Amino acid sequence: MRGHDWSWLHPVIICVIIAAVAYAMFNFGNVKRLVVGKPMRTRDLRESRNLLVWWMALPVLSADLYSSVAYGPEAGITELTGLGENAKWLILPITAMTVLLLMILITSYIMGVIAYPNGGGAYAISKDNFQRAWVPLLAASALMVDYVLTVAVSVASGVQNLASSYPVLQGHETSLSLLCVLIILLVNLRGISESSKVFAYPTYVFMACMLLMIGVGFWNELHHGFVQPHTPPFGVVPQGLTLMLLLKAFSSACSALTGVETISNAVPIFREGKNGAIKAYVALGLVTGVTLLGFAYHLYVKGISVNPNNTMLSQLAESYFGHGFLYQFIMWSTLVVLILAANSTFTGFPQVAALLAMDGYLPRALRLRGDRLGYSNGMIVLAALASLLVEIFHAQTNNLIPLYAIGVFVAFTVAQLGLIKRWIRVKGHWWRLKAGINAFGALITALVSVIFAVTKFTSGAWIVLVVIPLMIYLAMKVHRHYQDVADELRIDLKVDRPQQHRIVSVVLVSGIHRVVLDTISFAMSSTPNVFALYIGFDDESIEKMEEKWQAWGNPCRLVTVKSEYRSLLQPLSKFIRRLETYEGGKPDHIQLFIAQFVPKKWWHNLLHNQTSLLIRAWMLRHKDVVVTTVPYHLKK
């Protein structure tokens, strides 16, 4: 036998695991308790919110943005790999542009914090300022797309970093990433409060690692020179460089800027209120800027090249610290902080989804809080979508980057436009300056969005440009449906009151035995007009049934039908049509009684015809028939 390729089992196994967990949770409360934890009361929601000092809130909220330094610069320079050594210096101006853009964004977002001190994401801001429903929907869908991508990119990048230090993991990136997503989902279903202090330390540790590395870099350069043997030439225009290529590299590097909105969404958790948030923004901007620039500079000096099996972060750390403890420590803290970034999205995405669901733009199920008070359905949707992306793109960060960050920039632009409208409407101190800052921000982010869409169109951005309008369209359809239903269901409490209805009942009987005895007893106790309907496949069985019914004392009218085509559904629905056009006047309701075996062991279900389920589903969908299921619990 040859060695088999079992990779096709991958999605099957995942589906089986998910189904098994879902089944276990539904059937055995204990399993759910074990995985998700004890359910919490609704009133615990208020108590679980604790306020944080700004320098504790900062790391908690910045994992998403700050962790991007692990892949942002690399994503930028990867685009220029084809141009060779001479293009390597371009990482410096590209990173500088990115940092400049970061400053503009942060300034604009500070305006947002000033305007909405109770926290307000792009959806809330644009809903508050635009009449048309599609504008906030545009912001929301763009954000949601990007949240999904944040999970996929962060997890994939974290796993890639890990595989750089442990080559034995190479080739298993997809499985490991899927496993990470699953673990993050489970942890979040248990309900980790976003404002938990535990999240502060890993981010600070990672920041310290990055700053240490940058410091060591400068120390190294002081001793070995700022131009080292590997340093590529500076300032040369490499052959084949086009504006398009440059913009493409810039767009990719901008993937480092996702996550800026987190702080503005979470202003209420700051003990100092909006001032705390502003302080956090300034500090975060500074640290991120320094890190990006320093990291890019050292990459250039060391002349580090793109290597799909060894991230540039890993290569740089290796060049300073070899493969020792410090290197390992940096790699692990990178993984942890990237996973925290993915984790933070598990608060953001379900929140936006719940907001949309409350406004009737998404299925209501997304509005429900789970046992642990989180929006569990939203989390599950996020994990499923992110897993799908990871699986499709084989957990390769570079494949995912082209889809990434457009969403964020589109949402940025919409939110800024909303803020401008607000300043014009509300006025107040310095409103012209504030509106001007937002206008500039909007202009820049709109420009970046366009650059993104154009340069990355063929390599994946088109997917996002198709998905976002589709989401808006579907959200509108959903809204329309909910409104139609609400209109249809509204009644007048004074006029529309319950009334006595005439009911005709039909009991499906398959013979005469204990189950039929039970069902007939029940039916006759609940309604006066009961027909027993026997559908036989041949004349002998019908005759036998009629005789037995006689011997049983004719408890109610028996109707027998011969089904020449061995179908139950067809003669049954014909009989119901006959009842609907009954000579004695059409009944208000027809009620169908179906017995259902409930075996002790699950696999016994396979041994009993599940026709009753099919009949029930078909009748409810196609006929106006009330279906009553009378369970019979088997003893063995």
- The residue from 47, 540, 564, 583 that contacts a copy of itself (CB under 8 A) is 564
Q: How far from 29 is each of 25, 33, 188, 532, CA to CA, in Å?
A: 6, 6, 19, 39
Looking from the CA of 30 toward its CB, the CA atoms found within 13 Å total 0
Q: How far is the CB of 577 from a copy of itself (least distance, A)?
A: 15
Q: Hey, how many other C-beta atoms are within 10 angstroms of the C-beta on 135?
A: 18
Task: Report the DSSP pairing between strands 625-633 and 529-536.
Answer: unpaired
Q: CA 242, 245, 250: angle at the middle one, nearest 5?
A: 130
Q: Which is nearer to a copy of itself, 402 or 441 (CB)?
A: 402
Token pair for 251 = 């767009």
Binding mask 233-272 for a copy of itself (x = CB under 8 A): ----------------------------------------
What number of chain residues touch a copy of itself (CB under 8 A)? 104
Piece of 151-159, 293-301, 465-473, 562-570 that binds a copy of itself (CB under 8 A) = 562-570
Piece of 77-85, 206-214, 418-426, 499-507 that binds a copy of itself (CB under 8 A) = 499-507
User: Are 280 and 260 a contacting pair, CB within 8 Å?
Assistant: no
Identify the three-state secondary structure at position 554: coil
Q: If binding is defined by CB under 8 A, does position 629 make contact with a copy of itself?
A: yes
Q: How far is the CB of 427 from a copy of itself (least distance, A)?
A: 37
Q: How far is the CB of 253 from a copy of itself (least distance, A)?
A: 18
- The residue from 498, 540, 583, 585 that contacts a copy of itself (CB under 8 A) is 498
Q: Cα-flanking dihedrals φ and ψ of residue 503, to 5°? A: -120, 135
- The residue from 502, 577, 578, 586 that contacts a copy of itself (CB under 8 A) is 502
Q: Which is nearer to a copy of itself, 218 or 482 (CB)?
A: 482
Residues 601-620 that bind a copy of itself (CB under 8 A): 604, 606-610, 614, 616, 618, 620
- The residue from 328, 555, 559, 573 that contacts a copy of itself (CB under 8 A) is 555
Q: Which is nearer to a copy of itself, 273 or 599 (CB)?
A: 599
Q: CA 265, 270, 272: angle at the middle one, nearest 5?
A: 130
Piece of 71-79, 206-214, 417-425, 584-592 that binds a copy of itself (CB under 8 A) = 584-592
Piece of 56-64, 99-107, 277-285, 488-496 that binds a copy of itself (CB under 8 A) = 488-496
Q: If binding is defined by CB under 8 A, does position 581 make contact with a copy of itself?
A: no
Give the integer Cα–Cα distance in Å for 188 and 180.
Answer: 12
Residues 289-328 that bind a copy of itself (CB under 8 A): none
Q: Which residues pair with 593 in a beta bridge?
A: 507, 628
Q: Which is nearer to a copy of itself, 49 or 513 (CB)?
A: 513
Q: If binding is defined by CB under 8 A, does position 143 make contact with a copy of itself?
A: no
- The residue from 363, 436, 467, 541 that contacts a copy of itself (CB under 8 A) is 363
The residues, ordered by sequence, that sit 6+ positions from 614 with a Cβ below 8 Å of its Cβ are 569
Q: Provide the CA 271 distance to its chain's centre, in angstroms.
A: 30
Give the integer Cα–Cα distance in Å for 222 and 241.
Answer: 32
Q: Which is nearer to a copy of itself, 188 or 438 (CB)?
A: 188
Q: How far is the CB of 447 from a copy of itself (least distance, A)?
A: 25
Residue of 531, 592, 533, 538 whose CA lies nearest to 563: 538
Q: How far is the CB of 178 from a copy of itself (least distance, A)?
A: 12
- The residue from 172, 197, 271, 481 that contacts a copy of itself (CB under 8 A) is 481
Q: If binding is defined by CB under 8 A, does position 534 make contact with a copy of itself?
A: no
Q: Hey, how many other C-beta atoms are within 10 angstroms of the C-beta on 229?
A: 8
Q: If binding is defined by CB under 8 A, does position 583 make contact with a copy of itself?
A: no
Q: Which is nearer to a copy of itself, 433 or 613 (CB)?
A: 613
- Kindly state the DSSP code that residue 118 receives in the 8-state scheme: T
Give the integer Cα–Cα distance in Å for 593 and 531.
Answer: 10
Q: H or E element: which one contains 633?
A: strand 625-633
Residues 398-427 that bind a copy of itself (CB under 8 A): 399, 402
Q: Which is nearer to a copy of itself, 476 or 630 (CB)?
A: 630
Q: If binding is defined by CB under 8 A, does position 132 make contact with a copy of itself?
A: no
Give the integer Cα–Cα distance in Å for 440 and 417.
Answer: 10
- Kindly state the DSSP code that residue 602 receives in the 8-state scheme: G
The residues, ordered by sequence, that sit 6+ positions from 249 with a Cβ below 8 Å of its Cβ are 76, 77, 79, 80, 90, 94
Whose tokens are 């789970």? That residue is 370
Whose tokens are 């608060």? That residue is 347
Q: Which is nearer to a copy of itself, 231 or 628 (CB)?
A: 628
Q: Which is nearer to a copy of itself, 12 or 183 (CB)?
A: 12
Q: CA 231, 232, 238: angle at the middle one, nearest 5?
A: 170
Binding mask 456-475 for a copy of itself (x = CB under 8 A): ---xx---------------
Piece of 34-42, 102-110, 113-121, 210-218 that binds a copy of itself (CB under 8 A) = 34-42
Binding mask 35-64 for a copy of itself (x = CB under 8 A): ----xxxxx---------------------
Q: If binding is defined by CB under 8 A, does position 12 make contact with a copy of itself?
A: yes
Q: If binding is defined by CB under 8 A, does position 548 make contact with a copy of itself?
A: yes
User: Are 409 and 116 a contacting pair, CB within 8 Å?
Assistant: no
Give the integer Cα–Cα distance in Å for 67 and 119.
Answer: 23
Looking from the CA of 189 toward its CB, the CA atoms found within 13 Å total 21
- The residue from 49, 364, 425, 586 that contacts a copy of itself (CB under 8 A) is 364
Q: Provide the CA 74 distance to its chain's centre, in angstroms.
A: 26
